[in-house]
Structure 1
Amino acid sequence: MIFNKKGNNPLLAAGFLFKGLHWLSKPELRAYILIPVLINLALYSTVLVLGYYYVNELIARFIPDWLQWLDWLLWPLFFIGFFIAGFFTFTLLANLIAAPFYGKLALKTQALLNGDTADIIEPPLMQMLNAELKRTAYFITRALPLLVLSVIPGLNLLAPFVWGLFGAWGMALEYFAYPLENQGVLFEEQKQLAKSVRLGALSFGGVAAFGSSLPFVNIIVAPAAVIGATMYVHELNKVAD
């Protein structure tokens, strides 16, 4: 498979995520969207409630009474930290749990793009889970050096920018994978294809990463990104033809 570089357009790529958001309302896709949205809602709600409880305990235990006025500062920092951490950890965990449903969503989206109304043929469950585990391992092994960079004085000034690029690239690989795996493209080839349209991939992944860090929006961004990535890959293949 080859992606034509004419599709390596940041504005074109980012636009497909917004098209994915629009397609969330399509009746044909609702059955494939509902469970992933519920998974995201349950996961984020659980972590938020637990985080609230434990941060409240930490503040009560370690902040003396005469510094209780700092609550107004600590709580906003907690919520900011929660949603930043949510992007890097909870998004990957939610996608790992919902991977089988996202594979089906990409298949149904591709069928609609092709004008095919027949029932979709689902890929094997273990194949989808194994692929998701490989991607998660890839992200973790690259995130660890970035964590080290984040605590080195001087160099840590670069950390936010490096994390931003890494997040955008990771989200591009994550969501490109679903339509590509349905076409039999394995992870190593997926990376090479994404590199061939690097600007477009980073633009798409960057918008998806930003949406994943926003409260409430992050619940629906993942299925929208799956749909949008399927549209983008479809367009890149069409351009290549």
Structure 2
Amino acid sequence: MNPFIGPLYAIKGFNLIRRPGLRRYVLIPLLVNIVLFSAAIWLVASQFDAWMAQLLPQGYEWLEWLLWPLLAAAMLLLMFYSFTLVANLICAPFNDLLAEQVERELTGRVQGEETSLMQALRDSPKTLWNELGKLSYFLVRAIPLLILFLIPGLNLLAPFLWIAFSASLLAKEYFDYPMANHGYSFEQQREILKQHRIGSLSFGASVMVLTMIPVVNFMVMPLAVAGATALYLERIQK
């Protein structure tokens, strides 16, 4: 897959969630995203200047023109990505259902038995447990990167590493929904995505950019679930 495949499938995800047959599966994830991202935008707007003053390293004033946008992007990613994890934790049962219905929309069938809304709700403890497992995987890798932001000198590299890290984790987060519906464990999913590294990172980076755009980020979660499902079915599935 080429590096431009990610933006194409992000656009396809947006077009998919607008289809009449899928709109009702988008409603709850959309409402949760609106509430959480509104809170994130308010928090960033109220604390942005104070955070930037703390993050800019002393003695590097001559690099401020370069560091300011990088640190600002990294901080926004950290904040919005944190809220994205919370949104996915809350909406995991509905995202599984949305991925299943996107598959039906694209192929006319689903893997295994079709899940009803009540069944998705009954399975929510198992789904939430799986989400907590993913969250622990992410946190173990995120904490060392966050510590870099506090170390003078090394925090010059932190924004670049955090941006790459966020793209990778967002790809893993959203490909999990269609791939889990096909019976793949999280470990198996990571191995498959390694074989499609450029395409999956391209998609994760596209979602990452959309996450930082106000108003657009309200739609990111259902859009990303739909786009990842389409990309998996059409380009990755063997």
The two structures share one fold, judged by TM-score above 0.5: yes
Is the Cα contact below 8 Å between 2:102 and 2:229 reproduced in 1? yes
2:211 matches 1:217: no
Distance 1:195 1:82, change over 3 A: closer
CA RMSD of aligned residues (A): 2.4
Which secondary structure does the structure 2 equivalent of 1:153 belong to? coil
| Equivalent pairs, count | 209
Which piece of structure 1 moves more, 171-180 or 43-52? 43-52
TM (norm. structure 2) is 0.80
Structure 1 distance, partners of 2:27, 2:212, is 21
> Secondary structure in 2 aligned to 1:27?
coil
Query: What fraction of aligned residue pairs are identical, expressed as a percent?
Result: 40
The within-5 A match list for 1:7-46 is 8-46=1-39
Alpha carbons 1:83, 1:214 under 8 Å: kept: no
What CA deviation, in whole Å up to 9, does each residue of 1:106-154 have, x standing for no partner?
A: 000011111249x932552223212211111111111100011122222
Unpaired runs of 5+ residues, structure 1, are: 1-7, 59-78
Q: What is the CA-CA distance between 1:81 and the residue it aligns to?
A: 8.3
**Whole-Å Cα distance in 2 between the matches of residues 150 and 230 of structure 1?**
34
* Cα distance in 2 between the residues matched to 1:10 and 1:162: 19
Give yes or no for contact 1:83–1:215 (8 Å, CA) kept in 2.
no
Q: 1:50 to 1:199 in 2, by over 3 A?
A: closer
3-state SS in 1 of match to 2:174: helix
The whole-number CA distance in structure 1 between the counterparts of 2:40 and 2:220 is 18
Aligned to 1:112: 105
Instruction: Compute the displacement of 1:88 (Å).
Output: 2.3
Note closer, same or farther for the CA distance 1:187–1:31 as it changes in structure 2 (3 Å cut).
same
Q: Which residue does the alignment assign to 2:90?
A: 97
Cα distance change of structure 1 residues 210 and 47 upon mapping to structure 2, 3 Å threshold: closer
> Following the alignment from structure 2 to structure 1, what is the Cα–Cα distance between the partners of residues 165 and 83?
16
Write the distance in 2 (CA, Å) between the matches of 1:27 and 1:43. Answer: 25
| Structure 1 pair 50–156 and aligned structure 2 pair: CA distance change class (3 A) | closer
Q: C-alpha displacement at 1:51, in angstroms? A: 6.3
Q: Please give the secondary structure, in 1, of the residue aligned with 2:28.
A: helix
Whole-Å separation in 1 of the counterparts to 2:232 and 2:44: 38
For 2:160, what is the secondary structure of its paired residue? helix
TM-score, length-normalised on structure 1? 0.79
CA displacement 1:190-213 (0-9 Å, x = unmatched): 111111111111100000011111
Alignment partner, residue 61 of structure 2 = none
Q: Which runs of 5+ in 2 are unaligned?
A: 51-71
